[in-house]
């Protein structure tokens, strides 16, 4: 396994400015929920308790088999955009030829190191893990370019639903070359978003989300997690509502929050099969193949740039 490479923009000074901006604007950048070891541990706990049922793994196996018939094995790389716990990427890689190179990337260095070590133990070919922020890093293709092959599979499991399509899809499209594939997953809402609310509205999820604020002081209040709809998009919204005056401090700056003020902690967009095809097509990404769970709540999609 090659050594971990950290993008120069991922430095403490830049991150501190971005944390301050989150508190100032009252909206948390999703990457700050994965920064520390404790946050990573809390997220893994949520994932273990509320991840999709075990039968969903067959979707990734089928997608891996499908891609195995399309790629050029000796000239292919699988690069994971936000590898998280890495389980889904490794499931895909088990179905691909062994000479496919695996490049895990993430904002969280603890998660990156754990995934790279696990993949290596399983006999996979692992290149340099890359730590960077897909949104604040300029010229991403230049940074990841030396680690790519003539043909690449970009995976994104759990990342795309956390952002408005206009925030993330242009960036994803800019990475794709004509022979590349995008493989992403999405939690679907075929019977409406209210039915899946318990997967988010639970104490482990609240503990994980609250950790961002607790790093900066005693945030007095509670987290509310609810459903919402905007611009024909359904989403889960998690907000911290202050019940008493609270002072949070970071980077030498203090922020005073009064009762009733709110911080937007987390958003997760929910799609249907049809809305995914429509919205991705608007951003010049074509869905070539889909794999949907029996209950219709989980999908894995193989795409290419139009």
Instruction: Please give the Cα distance from 13 to 134 (Å, whole number).
Output: 18
* CB-CB contact of 280 with 197 (8 Å): no
In the chain, what is the straight-line distance between the N-terminal and C-terminal CA atoms, in Å? 34
For every residue of 77-136, DSSP letters joined together read EEEEES-TT-HHHHHHHHTS-TTSEEEEEES-HHHHHHHHHHHHHTT-EE---EE--TTT
Rounded Cα distance, 104 and 88, in Å? 12
- Please list the pLDDT of the chain residue by residue as tens digits (306 residues): 689 999 988 888 888 999 999 999 999 998 899 888 899 899 888 988 876 555 688 999 999 999 999 998 778 999 999 998 899 999 999 999 999 999 999 988 888 999 999 999 999 999 999 999 887 767 788 899 999 999 999 999 978 888 899 989 999 999 999 999 999 998 888 888 888 898 899 999 999 999 999 999 999 999 999 999 888 889 999 999 999 999 999 989 999 999 999 999 999 998 888 999 999 999 999 999 999 998 888 899 999 998
The count of residues in the chain is 306
| Domain boundaries defined on the chain | 54-185+272-305
* Whole-structure pTM value: 0.85
Both tokens of 170, joined, read 């242009």
Q: What does the alpha-carbon distance between residue 267 and residue 52 come to, in Å, rounded to a whole number?
A: 18
Kindly report the CATH number that applies to the domain delimited by 54-185+272-305.
3.40.50.150
């Amino acid at each position: 396994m090659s050594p971990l490479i950290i993008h120069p923009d991922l430095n403490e000074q830049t991150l501190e400015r971005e944390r301050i901006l989150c508190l100032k604007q009252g909206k948390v950048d999703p990457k700050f929920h994965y920064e520390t070891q404790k946050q990573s541990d809390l997220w893994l706990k949520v994932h273990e308790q509320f991840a999709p049922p075990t039968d969903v793994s067959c979707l990734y196996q089928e997608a891996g088999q499908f891609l195995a018939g399309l790629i050029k094995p000796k000239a292919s790389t699988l690069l994971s955009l936000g590898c998280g716990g890495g389980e889904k990427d490794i499931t895909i890689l088990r179905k691909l030829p062994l000479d496919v190179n695996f490049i895990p990337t993430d904002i969280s260095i603890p998660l990156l190191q754990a995934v790279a070590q696990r993949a290596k133990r399983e006999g996979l070919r692992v290149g340099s893990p890359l730590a960077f922020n897909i949104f604040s890093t300029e010229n991403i293709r230049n940074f990841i370019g030396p680690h790519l092959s003539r043909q690449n599979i970009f995976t994104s499991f759990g990342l795309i639903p956390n952002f408005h399509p206009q925030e993330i899809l242009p960036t994803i499209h800019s990475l794709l070359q004509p022979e590349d594939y995008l493989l992403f997953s999405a939690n679907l809402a075929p019977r409406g978003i209210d039915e899946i609310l318990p997967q988010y509205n639970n104490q482990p999820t609240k503990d994980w989300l609250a950790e961002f604020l607790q790093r900066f002081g005693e945030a007095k209040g509670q987290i509310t997690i609810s459903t919402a709809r905007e611009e024909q998009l359904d989403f889960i919204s998690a907000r911290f509502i202050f019940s008493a005056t609270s002072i949070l401090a970071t980077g030498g700056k203090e922020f005073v929050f009064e009762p009733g003020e709110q911080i937007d902690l987390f958003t997760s967009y929910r799609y249907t099969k049809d809305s995914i095809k429509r919205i991705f097509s608007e951003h010049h990404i074509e869905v070539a193949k889909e794999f949907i769970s029996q209950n219709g709540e989980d999908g894995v999609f193989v795409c290419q740039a139009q």
